[in-house]
Amino acid sequence: MIVPPGSVIGIVGGGQLGRMLSMAAARLGYRGHILDPHEHPPAADVAAFATRADFGDAAAIEAFGRVVDVATYEFENLPVGPLERLGDKLRPGTKSLAIAQDRAREKSFIEQCGGRVAPWREVSSLDDVRRAVEELGVPVVLKTRRYGYDGKGQAWIRSAGDAESAWAAIAEEPAVAEAGVDFQAEFSVILARWADGPHAFWDSPENEHREGILRRSTVPCSERIAPQVAEAREAALRIAEALGHVGVLTVEFFAGESGPVINEIAPRVHNSGHWTIEGAVTSQFEQHIRAICGLPPGSTALTVTSATMDNLIGEDVNDWPQLVAEEGARLHLYGKHEARPGRKMGHVTRVSRRA
Ligand code: ADP
Ligand code: MG
């Protein structure tokens, strides 16, 4: 089914990803409609329509479904049930969401698809945590099954004596205990998939995190990663196909000593793909719109020799006067009013071209 330009694209979630999706949609002549519970979500500034409603409000989501031509979501901490009301209009579907939002289901699913993950255990009591530490050895990281992002909902166990405080630190929520991976570098595979099968990959960025938050993505990736990209792409595509995923899918990897290890999947455009706006013929945002609307794939070729994307986190955003004055720096601000610590306020991309 083709959803032609002029149609309304519903976006559940009004953060910066929804904002950049809505801008890409507008360039192709679509109108965005944002559904979000907040008063001034960043995406609503750049969309034709906005509905303020809780993500769990099934009646509101059903009404939203009647006024949009196709719908998508821009983050994964959403109740799945109400979104079922969107039926076939929702792309990707709820399977991608249900699996990606629960770390235990996610890891089992990846393993079923033949992907490698760090050794892990499901834990729901302090005894489980202690047993997991005995079996996996230290270090181990506890991650809540649900609602984690930007390193939230995680606690490290570096010696057996940390088990109790780590379990308390994640508020005794159902979790996974995961062996620490001694990685050389991190990277992601970002792909888009169409309902009738075609897919496209971008170059894989090398990702640097600090305190669990992405700080920088760079393409091309270094030689620590490059030899692992082909295998990582195969694993990512098997996951996308098993999900019946439509749209952009991101798979985060550790480049391990003996090959790529999957960290997690995001059923959506991703922070590590923001460089595609300046660095690729078709950005991840435009490609997601193309895929969910049934338009043909755009080229994912690089238009630059290299690109570096730096996040502006919290007070970093106060550097905007220098950044906006810097020749060649492409500044993106998300229109968030308050620069709370750890909050993603914007990003800046710098590219280089062959002389
Ligand atoms: P989030 O959903 O918050 O992005 P991740 O599971 O991706 O959570 O963890 C955030 C970051 O923490 C990772 O990108 C990585 O740098 C570090 N990390 C997470 N799990 C592990 C692990 N098992 N071993 C080593 N580092 C890890
Ligand atoms: Mg992550």
Packing angle, helices 284-293 and 16-27, rounded to 10: 70
Atom of ligand 1 lying closest to residue 183 CA:
25
Dihedral sign for Cα atoms in the order 339, 55, 95, 25: negative
CA of 29 to the centre of ligand 2 (A): 32
pTM over 0.95: yes
Residue located nearest, by CA, to atom 1 of ligand 1: 149
- The structure tokens listed for 320 are 């905007």
Which amino acid is present at 271? Answer: N
pLDDT computed for residue 92 by the predictor: 98
- Here the tokens at position 62 are 């059903």
Smallest CA separation from ligand 1 atom 23, residue: 180
Q: Assess contact for 7 and 30: CB atoms under 8 A.
A: yes
C-alpha 309 to ligand 2 mean position (Å): 16
User: If you take atom 2 of ligand 1, which residue's CA is the nearest one?
Assistant: 149
Report the 10 Å Cβ neighbour count for 112: 11
Report the distance separating Cα 110 and Cα 141, nearest Å. 19
Distance CA 195, CA 38 (A): 32
Per-residue confidence (pLDDT) for residue 115, from 0 to 100: 98
C-alpha to C-alpha distance for 17 and 15, rounded to whole angstroms: 5
Distance between Cα 263 and ligand 1 center (Å): 7
pLDDT in tens, the chain (355 residues): 899 999 999 999 999 999 999 999 999 999 999 999 999 999 999 999 999 999 999 999 999 999 999 999 999 999 999 999 999 999 999 999 999 999 999 999 999 999 999 999 999 999 999 999 999 999 999 999 999 988 899 999 999 999 999 999 999 999 999 999 999 999 999 999 999 999 999 999 999 999 999 999 999 999 999 999 999 999 999 999 999 999 999 999 999 999 999 999 999 999 999 999 999 999 999 999 999 999 999 999 999 999 999 999 999 999 999 999 999 999 999 999 999 999 999 999 999 998 7
Instruction: Determine which residue's CA is closest to atom 15 belonging to ligand 1.
Output: 212
Rounded distance from Cα 186 to ligand 2 centre (Å): 10
Question: What's the gap in Å between 149 CA and the centre of ligand 1?
Answer: 10
Q: Give residue 308 CA to ligand 2 midpoint distance, Å.
A: 18
Cα–Cα distances in angstroms (integers) from residue 274 to residues 182, 227, 316, 332, 352, in the given order? 27, 23, 18, 10, 16
Tens digit of each residue's pLDDT (9 = 90 or more) over 290-300: 999 999 999 99
For residues 230 and 283, give the distance between their C-alpha atoms in angstroms, rounded to a whole number.
21
* Amino acid 354: pLDDT: 83
Burial of residue 257 (number of CB atoms within 10 Å: 0-12, 13-18, 19+): exposed
Predicted local distance difference test score (pLDDT) of residue 1:
83
The pLDDT tens digits for 234-255 are: 999 999 999 999 999 999 999 9
Q: Give the pocket of ligand 1 (CB within 6 Å).
A: 118, 141, 143, 148-151, 178, 180-181, 186, 209, 212, 252, 263-264
